Chains A and B, each alone.
Chain A
């Protein structure tokens, strides 16, 4: 009895495998993010030709935008990036600034922006764009919970991405994570700049990134820092020591902080 059930399960698994073989084509194509542990969990990096979702609370919108921008910068590889956004999200969190993008080390020349009036046209546009292999990545930015973005819509995007090899990045601000066909799902919060001397250079983008779902690996939560000069993520760094030598007779405050944190 149990043997029969086992073989039935095996057959079903085999069928599902065959249905999903389309994935195998681009399966190997992964881009390392630069953060060791995250890359480990992702089995070498972020998968191309798939959909990745980034969620955040409403006020964390800018941090999530930064994270998505970083992911897009990693996967596009000098190809154009199509950024589809809903009119409403621009009112809530401000417009994507090209000078800000350039400050993150990304190339504003490769960004084409689509200003969709509503969710339907945004979804339709992104599905169209994901089928076009001249693009490096498509970012779809939605604000709030949306009824229209259901499993069917998500499946459509995934299929389009698989067939063309374009990566889809979904930026969902002020929304709750729901089941979908995405390859990975992240929850984003801004992370503090490490405490340091007043004159130190602070303010490099730091993200508290929680990997909620990973179809082919483990989940986790890491502090990731975006390195604007090298255009990749990295482990959180401490800032360089002050130039003056630390007094020998008492412990360096920065070092003691490091120990506490570690």
Chain B
């Protein structure tokens, strides 16, 4: 089955959906490639990335189309005609065959691309522009197109002449809406790939730039402009994206996030420097970048504080800035604060949360207070997953062991305290969880362990025949 074909093949009379054997019969020396829909989608999204240079509102029209909302953007490229010309030429240079059109509604523009590429329709001229095209250009699906043709409606103009309730009764409300949109009566909003950033600044270069110093300089200039425009409205950036448009069409986007709104360009500068420094696959300029764009995709209102008098506020700001820098370098998930959890199961008692977002919450958190004049009852180092130990025997059946083997070393137990029994939360977990008896242990060397027996003795653990077996032992933590 033919999935797609080029112009030469089309001239030979092959068509999409034709069985491959028939096509081979018509043209024996056909060159055939397997269809790769995943790669097609990827390519379309790359082209959409590239199209970001014209407008931030780019929508995918699968399988092979893109919608660009150029409202208010055209004058930046010398008018609609010039924009269309630039776009088509640049894409053709990259090896794509493009058909493009500009119209007041997206459906109308799509119809035009199928029949009259390069057309620009002024507002209100939609119906006239497409009236002579065959109905198949609407892209309404095989069944409807055939139906229309059988009804004798060959062109869109023919269909438009019928009253809309007739069309709706015969072909459904969906088609009649599509037709209305194509004729410029109402418009369906396009669905942009990315949310519109709050602030965008960009710089284009007649001569592509490639050196690190130029890139850094451009970024810091852009940062100044961005900050200046945000400052007027009292905003600060929480998430920043820098997009680098390479001359050969590749677009690389780099994002940094901050814990609190950024209001100084020097900070943005430094964050991007850290991020660019630490990239696992460095920014490859190739033949140079012809455009750099900096956008603030998340912003917040900044409350101006008087900083100099209050040292505490200053310290918190400094800390937040430091954490932002570290996070930009090694990733936000690697810088964490800990929040107490309302549970008595030791391994669940704390939750690690990204420090950029939860610093304030962590500073206010309420941790359970320790018992006065008691030694530590919880270990300083806790294993995520308790490690199994070998216990030869215990003198008292449900008592602590006399010695145990952990990581191949034998430890003789000198002092013991326990058991502290911790039952599992049966109301939360699925499946049966065993009760644990914890012991604080000191060995002959003075090392202190927190070990537990997983399951009550002869009460919870059974073999296949239902006989009780002795439960396993684990080391869960180490005391200082």
Contact = CB atoms under 8 A, between A and B. Distances in A.
Interface of A: 59-63, 65-67, 69, 79-80, 82, 90, 93-105, 107-117, 121, 124-125, 128-129, 132-135, 189-193, 201-208, 226, 228-229
B124 to A, nearest CB: 60
20 contacts: A62-B381, A62-B479, A69-B380, A93-B381, A96-B380, A98-B338, A98-B350, A99-B378, A100-B480, A104-B380, A104-B480, A112-B323, A128-B322, A128-B326, A134-B319, A134-B322, A190-B447, A226-B480, A228-B375, A228-B376
A116 B336 CA distance: 11
Contacts of B325: 128
Given A98-B367, A206-B446, A229-B373, A117 B380 contact: no
B444 to A, nearest CB: 9
Scoring B314, B365, B380, B477 by chain A CB atoms within 10 A of each residue's CB, the highest score goes to B380
B337 A59 contact: no
Interface string B458-480: 00000000000000000001111
B381 A124 contact: no
A69 B380 CA distance: 9
B381 A193 contact: no
B377 interface: yes
Contact of A132 (B319, B334, B363, B376): B319
A112 B357 CA distance: 12
A205 B381 CA distance: 13
Given A109-B362, A192-B446, A204 B318 contact: no
Interface of B: 278, 314-319, 322-323, 325-326, 329-330, 334-338, 340, 346, 349-350, 352, 355, 359, 362-365, 367-370, 372-384, 409, 414-415, 417, 440, 442, 445-448, 477-480
Nearest to A102: B367
A108 B478 contact: no
A113 B447 CA distance: 25
A60 B448 CA distance: 10
Contact of B382 (A79, A97, A104): A97
A96 B381 contact: yes
Nearest to A90: B384
A228 B265 CA distance: 45
A125 B377 contact: no
Contact of A203 (B316, B369, B376): B376
- Secondary structure at the A interface, as helix, strand, loop or mixed, is mixed
Given A62-B379, A108-B367, A99 B350 contact: yes
A97 B326 contact: no
A111 B338 CA distance: 8
A113 B480 contact: no
Nearest to B371: A103
A103 B370 contact: yes
B337 A201 contact: no
Contacts of A124: 329
A100 B381 contact: yes
Contact of B378 (A90, A100, A129, A192): A100
A111 B337 contact: yes
A69 B278 CA distance: 30
A39 to B, nearest CB: 21
Given A114-B326, A124-B329, A203-B479, A97 B370 contact: no
Contacts of A133: 318
A103 B337 CA distance: 18
Contacts of B359: 112
Given A128-B326, A133-B318, A228-B375, A100 B380 contact: yes
Contacts of B440: 203
B159 to A, nearest CB: 62
A83 B131 CA distance: 71
A135 B367 contact: no
A128 B326 CA distance: 8
A206 B446 CA distance: 9
A112 B367 contact: no
Contacts of A113: 335-338, 352, 355
Nearest to B382: A97
Given A97-B346, A134-B314, A191-B446, 19 more contacts: A62-B478, A80-B319, A94-B381, A95-B384, A97-B350, A97-B382, A98-B338, A99-B367, A100-B480, A101-B380, A103-B370, A109-B367, A113-B338, A113-B355, A114-B326, A128-B326, A202-B417, A205-B375, A229-B372
Given A115-B336, A132-B319, A135-B319, A94 B480 contact: no
B445 A190 contact: yes
Contacts of A94: 379, 381-384, 477-478
A99 to B, nearest CB: 4
Nearest to B317: A134
A22 to B, nearest CB: 21
B375 A203 contact: yes
A155 B316 CA distance: 28
Closest 9 A/B residue pairs (Cβ) = A66-B480, A62-B478, A134-B318, A203-B375, A103-B376, A94-B381, A100-B380, A97-B382, A205-B480
A105 B317 CA distance: 27
Contacts of B319: 80, 112, 132, 134-135
A103 B319 CA distance: 26
B322 A135 contact: yes
Contact of B376 (A111, A129, A205, A208): A205
Nearest to A59: B447
Nearest to B352: A113
A94 B442 CA distance: 18
Contacts of A191: 446
Nearest to B337: A112
A205 B446 CA distance: 10
A202 B375 CA distance: 7
Contacts of B383: 94-95
Given A190-B448, A203-B442, A114 B367 contact: no
B415 A202 contact: yes
B334 A114 contact: yes
Contacts of A69: 380, 480
A190 B382 contact: no
A97 B442 contact: no
